[in-house]
Structure 1
């Protein structure tokens, strides 16, 4: 874990923020309903949030107004939600999980040559000739797709 990652700290759930995001509603405050971590294009670890508009919240009726954003999109924190040591543990576990996933992806991408067994060709089963197509359709409605 880098020094910057050690200093990362989530805003508490329920924190009320102003955001600068293209999908934000005008003159609307948002509150944090979910948190995650990620990497930006330069490989830096960033905090991610899902925010819901105040006062509607994260209701089914307003689910299209919930926005996923980066910590950089938060222009001002109006109110900080509750935080305790469980938040720090949660962040540490998320960072560790992300690092494990990245290592796993790198490891699996190093094995680019996978030996394949040669598959023997199996001759296609010929479609029986039936003069009356309706009879064939009764027996096998998908017979045309098997040719």
Structure 2
């Protein structure tokens, strides 16, 4: 069994390498605290890939303190950072334990046949004179654009 790493709350702007991501380097652009199963603090980070950063077509990687395998360069930290952490740790005492990702079940896709049609329940399938299906058309439009009726 692997040894649990000691809790560490890295500053914004810290450059790190992450498990299972090869030699890619990431920068911490957002951070938060949660509790693990045992109720101990757990750092959570949003990471932007270096040197790309975060743009319109990029995604942020989500990682925990356990995922960080190497700190390349630590970001700026001062007294306000220490106060921020102290406040977050105090609030965390009352927070619920967060279930790790691998224990969360997938959320099923919604059943579009039960949708409300502007306050009225979608009627049973009826065929129009052109041979198309009203309910099917409405469901397909909702899948493509859930706000199509408001335009």
Give TM-score, length-normalised by structure 2: 0.55
Contact 1:33 1:58 in 2 (8 A): no
Corresponding residue of 2:52: 56
Contact 2:44 2:65 in 1 (8 A): yes
Q: Does 1:100 align with 2:100?
A: no
Contact 1:36 1:48 in 2 (8 A): yes
Secondary structure class of the residue paired with 1:57: coil
Quick check: which has more Rg, 1 or 2? 1
Deviation at 1:142?
4.1
CA distance in structure 1 between the aligned counterparts of 2:32 and 2:122, rounded to whole angstroms: 49
Q: Does 1:83 align with 2:82?
A: no
Contact 1:15 1:31 in 2 (8 A): yes
- C-alpha change, 1:95 and 1:28, in structure 2 (3 Å) is same
Deviation at 1:72?
1.0
Higher helix residue share:
1
- C-alpha change, 1:42 and 1:57, in structure 2 (3 Å) is same
Deviation at 1:27?
2.9
Unaligned runs of 5+ in 2: 1-5, 97-118, 124-151
Give TM-score, length-normalised by structure 1: 0.57
Contact 1:9 1:88 in 2 (8 A): no
Alignment equivalent of 1:29, drawn from 11, 25, 28: 25
Corresponding residue of 2:16: 17
Contact 1:10 1:87 in 2 (8 A): no
Alignment of 1:110-125 (within 5 A): none
Unaligned runs of 5+ in 1: 1-6, 103-140
Secondary structure class of the residue paired with 2:93: helix
Contact 2:7 2:65 in 1 (8 A): no
